[in-house]
Structure 1
Amino acid sequence: MLGIHQRPRASHAVLSWATLATVAAVSTACSVGPGGASGSGPVDAGKYPSDTIEVVVPYEAGGATDQMVRSLSQPVAEGLGDEPLVVLNQPGGAGTIGTTRVVAASPDGYTLGFIAGGPLTVQPHYGRTVYSFEDVTPVARVAVAPIVLAVPSDSPWQTVGDMIASVREDPGSFRYASTGAGNPANLAMEKLDAAADIETTQVPFESSAEAVTALLGGNVEGAAGSPSGFAASVRSGDLRILANLGSVKGAEYASVPTLKESGYDVATDITSGFIAPKDLPDPYLREISNSIRDALEDPEIRKQIELTGAVPYFGSPEEYRADIAREYSETGEVLHEAGLI
């Protein structure tokens, strides 16, 4: 990988080992399956499921990831039988609190998680999680969304090439808002910096709404994040997408070139999907994964996912596992070269 401009190490808001260990212990105690035992027990796929399945979303309700899983919960449940899928939002710790709950649960098929990359591919690199990306069972990839770079609609830059040329003339002049150091948007911009041999400056915010406010207020020159965070402002004409920093294209930004199409062979995507505790019995894994696959064939479900800015893209357990492993490795390399770990 091309060298990345060294930056001062950032301080990260992370949970202590003790706090996460407590969450894990409490989650384990609360994750007894319908049979009353904490182990996986005898497997009889013909009788599964016989109780409600909990789907932990480690983010606030109402966000793109939450909307995605809620659009899938009923059709996936119908594909499995008569038992409902109940969504539980457990935000905090950059997604690690809810993910810890899933990791600590019994692999009995009654606790699933729905994540968007970071809790498995980013946060473990900081050494502040009680799990690694290998401590889950990847069930199915559901969708992929690129990181995009937004600018005010009246920005003088019409292409990412214009922005790069400007920053080369005035290094450090481009400030971009994103939601925290080391998040996927930050990583995407670090990759762009390295590939284009420029230096941009991140201004971290707590939420995408705050990042958009800063951009509209002229406090930064751009903002990087998922398409859903900018959708309303793009539709209103206040912002426009300057660059697609990923590898996939949604309908609302299909005309925006990817970095690869602009001559820079880097990409950063956010992969969303279902996970389960490690060692989920294969019959259960296949039933759940197949039900998700079938649900994603419904045009209405695909449309709902596309409204979040993501592209529906089913992946088998094996494909999703490979995605997670690759993203974890690539993220570690970028974080290390950027001086963030």
Structure 2
Amino acid sequence: MANGSGWIASFVFTLMLAASPAAAQIDFPKRHIHVILPYPAGGIVDIATRIVTDRLSGLWRQPFVVEAKPAGGGNVAWDQVSRAAPDGYTWTFIAPAIMANPRMYANLRWSDKSFTPVAAIAWAPSVLVVHPSVPVSTMAEFIDYVRARPGILNWGNPGVGTSQHLNTAIFLTATNLDMLAVPYGGQPPAILDLRANRVQFNVSSIGLVTEHVVSGAVKALAVLGTARSPLLPNTPTVSEAGYPEINVVPWYGFAVPSGTPQPVVEKIAAGFQEVIKTVQVRELLQKQGLEPMQPMDLAELAKLYGEHTQKYANVIREAGIKRSD
């Protein structure tokens, strides 16, 4: 694990020292901002990015160029951003894999410390779903059902280091269940195979799977989220279902390369804090199944980033997830 809690505390302290009025005085941005995404165009990450950058573009009167580079489980995008000039004009997206991948891939040229987080915009709740042929209606029933059939049921893994992969690992480790992982190149094909009963269980983003739950093509057991989702109001959270220990909710945000001048970091963070408060932005994020977060200052954000980095390191170790080349 990378340096433990020491670097986290140092990082938080550094950001706390930076609360100066300098950000309000700097002339930034002067030109377009390049946002490099680790996931495909048209997905929830892309949509959420455009929701907030459209508002920031209006605020700063500068354009944004959003580019998707989804190869390598996000590693291609994060490698490029980690080596970009630390001037505030290149951003990337924070998702669980930015914290987990350095512990799951060998020979990366970047780590979670290669970036400075500048915004947390939303919690990204998921839902535990099963094929309707599985004769259960609650998490407890499902756990008992799988426990009686070790190694028989399949689950869809949409990608190494994705929140769905990590949340499934948390679930299986905490409940001591044995299911077979089937790899997929993203959530949509995994959801389609759940509908077809080629896999029997998925952890899926609420925004992607709600229509399938409503149609009856799949069955929702519980939501990984801070509260019940307005898209699935009758589905309890995993905490309500009696399993709070697995309720690790991913979050989405943005980061810049480490070494970006602190006044620039502050200016970017202040912009996000302003736009995330607007009703329009919050409503648009909610329509994607996301839970908009309250604005955070940089110290709070650094603490969140460090805590979740530690959580995913623990998950990877406890689940015995091995490094890939």
TM range (shorter): 0.7 to 0.9
Using structure 2 for the length normalisation, give the TM-score.
0.84
Aligned partners of 1:257 and 1:250: how far apart in 2? 9
1:252 to partner: Cα distance: 0.8
Q: Could you say what secondary structure the match of 2:247 adopts?
A: coil
Q: Which deviates more, 207-216 or 166-175?
A: 166-175
Aligned partners of 2:230 and 2:191: how far apart in 1? 21
Aligned to 2:314: 333
- Note closer, same or farther for the CA distance 1:52–1:182 as it changes in structure 2 (3 Å cut): closer
Aligned to 1:163: 142
% same residue: 28
Q: Could you say what secondary structure the match of 1:69 adopts?
A: helix
Is it true that 1:152 corresponds to 2:127 in the alignment? Answer: no
The answer to whether the 8 Å contact 2:222/2:241 transfers is no
Aligned to 1:208: 187
The answer to whether the 8 Å contact 2:39/2:46 transfers is yes
Q: Could you say what secondary structure the match of 1:251 adopts?
A: coil
- Note closer, same or farther for the CA distance 1:227–1:71 as it changes in structure 2 (3 Å cut): same
Aligned partners of 1:157 and 1:139: how far apart in 2? 42
The answer to whether the 8 Å contact 1:146/1:268 transfers is no
Find 1:75's aligned residue among 55, 58, 62.
55
1:159 to partner: Cα distance: 0.9
Is it true that 1:303 corresponds to 2:278 in the alignment? Answer: no
| Residues 253-292 of structure 1: pairs in structure 2 closer than 5 A | 253-264=232-243, 265-292=245-272
1:69 to partner: Cα distance: 0.7
| Residues 124-135 of structure 1: pairs in structure 2 closer than 5 A | 124-125=102-103, 126-135=105-114
Aligned partners of 1:165 and 1:330: how far apart in 2? 27
Q: Which deviates more, 124-133 or 44-53?
A: 44-53
Aligned partners of 2:318 and 2:107: how far apart in 1? 20
Instruction: Name structure 2 gaps, 5 residues minimum.
Output: 1-21
| Residues 174-189 of structure 1: pairs in structure 2 closer than 5 A | 174-189=153-168
Count how many residue pairs are aligned between Structure 1 and Structure 2. 298
Instruction: Name structure 1 gaps, 5 residues minimum.
Output: 1-41
Aligned partners of 1:44 and 1:247: how far apart in 2? 34
Q: Which deviates more, 81-90 or 182-191?
A: 182-191
Find 2:99's aligned residue among 118, 121, 139.
121
Aligned partners of 2:151 and 2:225: how far apart in 1? 23
Using structure 1 for the length normalisation, give the TM-score.
0.81
RMSD: 2.2
Is it true that 1:239 corresponds to 2:218 in the alignment? Answer: yes
Aligned partners of 1:96 and 1:250: how far apart in 2? 31
